[in-house]
Structure formats: structure tokens, C-alpha cells
Amino acid sequence: MRKKKFYSLFFVFVHFAAYSQNDFLKGGELYSSNFLIDGIQRNFIYYMPVDYGKKDAYPLVIFLHEQGGSGKTLINNYGNTIQTLADSSNAVVIYPDAVANHWNEKMGESFPATDTVNDVGFISILIDYFEQVYSCDPKRVYLSGILNGGKIAYRLTCEIPHKITAVAPFVFNIQEVENKCKGDKSVAIMNTNGLMDSTTKKISSTAIEAMWKFFMTKAKE
């Protein structure tokens, strides 16, 4: 895996730097990078589709890990399926890491290590960055997550709905999540009931394919 680092306080870009970054990219590969936000290093891994560089704009899919997991966990468990789908639809995929392996989803769960972490700002910056630097399409931005990651994905439909096209929150009780915030109607929300194994707390390749199909049929007006 190649290692490149990016540091940003308030999402500042220099155009020539963006061009030089793209010069190093090869489709079909994973890259790692980070931002510095509120004094905290925020890490993420991203995948560029095999034909990256041949189109003017690309769908962006952000996949958020469960509590105790990481972007690497998602890649180990689901990466082959997700990245095959990304290649088939020319989509860029991001696997971000939460601080202390827990997203600050503000859905009633107390987790002191991350209760003040600005995860909404982190995801928002990621979206803006990939739109401006890697030509991701602002009309086709999709979020999914598992359990704690699913909750923050849903929360973002309340916090930054103008930046999100559709979400697929893999949680056991979607009603509990909906009771905490009502997602903006401009964001399409996939019904994931029954698509996660209650024992293993994992999702199948069939569930991922269903999620992907749902995403790729949605675009902002």
C-alpha cells in the first residue's frame, strides 16, 4: 500500500498540488492518507477504480466501520466485493477511521473518548476534498456503515444532507436511529432490515451488492 500524507485545518487546496497527486495515482489500487482536524490526525484509506482518469466525474462511496473496527477491518472483510463493484461503476471508495475506533454518532450512546470529536466535520471535509481533487461527483455521494458506523451515516443525513445523495445504514433498529433525528427527504435511505447477521454482526456480499445497486440508481437533482 502506498503512503501519502495530506494535512489540512480548514480544507485549503493548492491547485498545482492536486495535479501532482493525480500524477502518482494508478487505478485499481489502495492509498492511505490523513488530515489534521482540530489537532487530531484523521486517517483514511481510499480506493481508485481501475479505469480512474478516463472520466470527468466519479461516484463517491464512503464506508464507515463498526465500533472497535477500522478502515482496514472493512477492507479485510468486504474489500474484494466493494472494490470489484467500484471498478464496474467507476466509483471512488473511502474507508475512514474513527478516533478510538468509535464514531461520535450522538444517538444516545455515551463514549467519553469520542463524545467531543467532530466526525461530521471530518466526513464533510473528505467529501469536499475528493470532489475537488479527485473529480468526484457532488450529485453522487453515498454513505454506508455498520452498527456505530451506520448510525453516524444516518446522522449525516440530518447534519449535511446537501452533500449526500443516499445512505445505507446497517443497524439492527433503524426506528431507534430515526427517532434521534429525522433525515432530510432529499437523501435516499435504503431499508437494510434483515441484511445483517445478528450473530456475526456482518453483512453478506449479497447485501453489499444490493446496497451498491441502490446507490448507483440515485443522483441529486
Burial class (CB in 10 A: 0-12, 13-18, 19+), 32: middle
Q: Which three cell numbers stand for residue 160?
A: 449535511
The reply to whether 22 falls in a domain is no
Question: Position 131: which residue type?
Answer: E
pLDDT-above-90 percentage for the chain: 76
* Domain at 176, CATH number: 3.40.50.1820
- How many beta carbons lie within 10 A of that of residue 57, not counting itself? 14
Q: Which structural domain range is residue 104 located in?
A: 54-216
pLDDT-above-70 percentage for the chain: 89
The reply to whether 86 falls in a domain is yes
The span from the CA of 27 to the CA of 84, in Å, is 12
Is the per-residue pLDDT at 81 higher than 80? yes
The reply to whether 48 falls in a domain is no
The reply to whether 148 falls in a domain is yes
Q: Greatest CA separation found in the chain?
A: 49
Cα 83 to Cα 152, 164, 190, 219, distances in angstroms: 22, 21, 20, 20
Residue 207: predicted pLDDT: 96
| Domains in the chain, number | 1
